[in-house]
Amino acid sequence: TACSSKYVLSHMHPMWQGPLAVPGGDRQSPIDIVVRKSIFDSELKPLVTDYDPDTCQQIWNNGYSFLVEYDDTTDKSTLRGGPLQDKFRLCQFHFHWGESNSWGSEHTVDRKLFPAELHLVHWNSDKYSLFEEAVMEENGLAVIGVFLKVGKRHEGLQKLVDALPAIRHKGSVVEFTRFDPACLLPSNIDDYWTYHGSLTTPPLTESVSWIVMKQHIEVSHDQLAVFRSLLFTSAEEEVQKSMECFKGTRLSLGSFIQNN
């Protein structure tokens, strides 16, 4: 019906609010990773993640994705090494997905799309004291990207999937504790592409050292279906939308009765 297609359109092509002061920069993300043009860099160090599950705090639906947020007031959950010179603190992770398995990832590999992509967001705690500060700076952020493919069920992901029905509507948040994000990383985290880019959603600032894993992780079709069951409208907008559909019906019904 008109209502659902309108809903699907807004969901599939989230229209960012208002005109964007998009930095007309030359390092906007996401990008297509052209494998044959990537260069091996022997200077790159092993990537070192050190995540404390006790820093996991809450999970919330922000209207474009769902975020699992970590306590980033200390250096308890950090990322260092790889292309990074400093120590970076984990502040949140979230996913990007599509309405079907044929699309959803933001980065592509030789133009190949994946059904979903995980982003683990960290900020440079050696140089800055808050995420909001680091987000505006050249080497303020480091984001690990992991592609998701549909296959066997991901046991570590299930705890997260089970929490999603509680945050069905935009703006809902629930407590979420003791989750170790390392369980979402592929077996070999030293096989990655790295480049300097930007945030892929507002504020789109060019402050990100991207570290995109070559190895994907597998999740089941059912687990991905729960991602898609999330609504990106608030409970209040939901009521409005359903009233609109109903109103339309009454109007057409009225005209039908008149003409007979």
| Segment interacting with ligand 5RD (CB under 6 A) among 33-41, 153-161, 198-206, 225-233 | 198-206
Give the largest Cα separation in the chain, rounded.
81
| 116 forms part of the interface with ligand 5RD (CB under 6 A) | no
| 119 forms part of the interface with Zn ion (CB under 5 A) | yes
CA 80 to CA 163: how far, in whole Å? 30
Structure tokens at 58: 């809450």
Q: Using the rule CB under 6 A, which residue among 90, 146, 199, 231 binds ligand 5RD?
A: 199
Smallest separation, CB 200 to ligand 5RD (Å): 4
| 119 forms part of the interface with ligand 5RD (CB under 6 A) | yes
| 201 forms part of the interface with ligand 5RD (CB under 6 A) | yes
| 200 forms part of the interface with ligand 5RD (CB under 6 A) | yes
User: What pairs with residue 121 in β-bridges?
Assistant: 92, 143
| 143 forms part of the interface with ligand 5RD (CB under 6 A) | yes
Sign of CA dihedral 221, 57, 65, 109: negative
Q: Which is nearer to ligand 5RD, 163 or 199 (CB)?
A: 199
Q: Using the rule CB under 6 A, which residue among 56, 84, 135, 226 binds ligand 5RD?
A: 135
| 121 forms part of the interface with ligand 5RD (CB under 6 A) | yes
Report the residue count for the chain: 260
| 146 forms part of the interface with ligand 5RD (CB under 6 A) | no
- Determine the 3-state secondary structure of 201 from DSSP: coil
CA 114 to CA 152: how far, in whole Å? 15
| 217 forms part of the interface with ligand 5RD (CB under 6 A) | no
| 87 forms part of the interface with Zn ion (CB under 5 A) | no
Q: Which is nearer to Zn ion, 28 or 238 (CB)?
A: 28
| Segment interacting with ligand 5RD (CB under 6 A) among 52-60, 152-160, 194-202, 214-222 | 194-202
Nearest residue relative to Zn ion (C-beta): 119
Identify whether the C-beta of residue 138 lies closer than 8 Å to the C-beta of residue 25: no
Structure tokens at 124: 């440079």
Quickly count: other Cβ atoms within 10 Å of residue 244's Cβ: 13
C-alpha dihedral over 59, 62, 63, 68, to 10 degrees? -30
| 107 forms part of the interface with Zn ion (CB under 5 A) | no
- 173 alpha carbon, distance to own chain's centre: 16
Binding residues for Zn ion, rule CB under 5 A, total 1
Q: Which is nearer to Zn ion, 80 or 119 (CB)?
A: 119
Helix axes 235-258, 2-12, angle to 10 degrees: 150
Identify whether the C-beta of residue 83 lies closer than 8 Å to the C-beta of residue 194: yes
Give the footprint of Zn ion on this chain (CB under 5 A). Answer: 119
Give the footprint of ligand 5RD on this chain (CB under 6 A). Answer: 119, 121, 132, 135, 143, 199-201
